[in-house]
Amino acid sequence: MTSTLIPRTADYEVKLTAEHETLRNTIRDFAEKKIRPIAAQIDHNNKIPPDLITQIAKLGLSAITYKEEYGGLNADLLSMVIALEELARVSAACSTVFVASHLVSEPINEWGNEEQKKRYLVPMVAGDKIGAHAMTEPGAGSDVAGIKSTAKLHGTHWEITGRKMFITNGEIADYYLVFARTSPAPSKAERHKGLSAFIVERGTEGFQVGSKIETTGLRGSQPSELILDRVRVPKDNLLGKEGDGFYIGVKTYDRGRIDVSAQGVGISQAAYEAAVSYAQTRTSFDSPLIEFQQVQYKLAEMAIGLHTARLLTYWAASLKDQGKDFVKAASIAKVTATETAEKLALQAMMIHGGYGVATEYPVERFLRDSQIIKTYEGTNDIQRLTIAKQLLRELKR
């Protein structure tokens, strides 16, 4: 067997500390007291109260992985995963606000200059500002290189024109990371070249938040259309170097998939808890459901899926924290955790019987939410392609 395919023991090291557990308990306590009572209302009304988003941010969700010099907590990605998991366990929509905002703060932290960090990253870390990552267009989703928005330099300003779709946080964001083409692609084989990333502030002339896009899940954090009509942004708002847009986007998604995996774990945990609780309290033929072997079998399968998804997600985060190659692990975790969320939601619905499809119970919401997390930050089919490409690279070493 090719030696590059044989894993090393150190590659599977996951260390959970007392600090991680303290963080988990803090987030869970907040979620139970402040979010659970209104989780169904958030889904029904398709809106998260703005003050709740502020409270979650001030709890540290916007600061966990950033350096203290920018107001951060200087903690690891595993800490972020645990926090997002606990939020998603109660409201996947609430967790989505921060998953999406990290797609702006992370690239500014990674590729921004000091002036950009002071101006944009610091208020985001403090929880005072929210971000929206604007890559997807009507004709460009998984095909990032296919975006049509353009940015032209006119002296001291860039002029951006284009239309973005399915932008999470589009309605509520303060800062938008907009990707546009600054030069034509050299060739069909190099379509990814010539893209650049720009920081655009809400309220900039020519920038308009279009219609909200109603989706089946993550209600409360619905995406929006963005319209950019000759939007003028300062030359200094270019993130990284001109032409770095594709690289910035792809590298940001590599890390962001771990956040989405955490959402999958949270939804899976919620479905598992709901199924166990219902099986203990609901009786049939004068016996609790949990005493029937068929139900026990389903619960066992749910436990297997839940723990597998959690361990793979923690593994991917730990590889990133250790500075190791985590790209394949992130894709594996994303596919596993999000598809586990769907599977466990369905199993929970079956255990609930007729009540499983009733909106007064949360299990049908878990199923709807799972459909969205399977799709964004790179569909699961794209993740399988990423895993295959990483395998081919390993074989060539």
* Residue 152 one-letter amino acid: K
Residue 173, token pair as written in the block: 């964001």
- CA dist 169 → 131, 382, 394 (Å): 7, 23, 37
**How far is the first Cα of the chain from the last one, in angstroms, to the nearest whole number?**
13
| 368/347 Cα distance (integer angstroms) | 14
| Class of residue 322 by CB neighbours under 10 A (exposed 0-12, middle 13-18, buried 19+) | middle
Do residues 197 and 178 touch, judged by C-beta distance below 8 A?
yes
Cα angle 364, 367, 369 (rounded to 5 degrees) comes to 110
Residue 72 DSSP one-character state: -
Do residues 183 and 158 touch, judged by C-beta distance below 8 A?
no
| 11/13 Cα distance (integer angstroms) | 6
Do residues 4 and 304 touch, judged by C-beta distance below 8 A?
no
User: Is 214 assigned a catalytic role?
Assistant: no
Q: Which of 106, 339, 364, 377 is catalytic?
A: 377
Spell out the residues 6+ positions from residue 330 whose beta carbon is closer than 8 angstroms to its own. 254, 255, 257, 258, 261, 316, 320
CB atoms inside a 10 Å sphere around CB 338: 31
Spell out the residues 6+ positions from residue 379 whose beta carbon is closer than 8 angstroms to its own. 142
What phi-psi label fits residue 112: left (phi over 0), alpha (psi between -120 and 50 degrees) or beta?
Answer: beta
Gyration radius from the chain CA atoms: 21
Shortest CA distance to 330 belongs to which of 282, 390, 288, 275?
Answer: 390
Shortest CA distance to 272 belongs to which of 168, 376, 389, 352?
Answer: 352
| 122/133 Cα distance (integer angstroms) | 17
Shortest CA distance to 197 belongs to which of 180, 185, 216?
Answer: 180
Annotated catalytic sites, by residue? 377
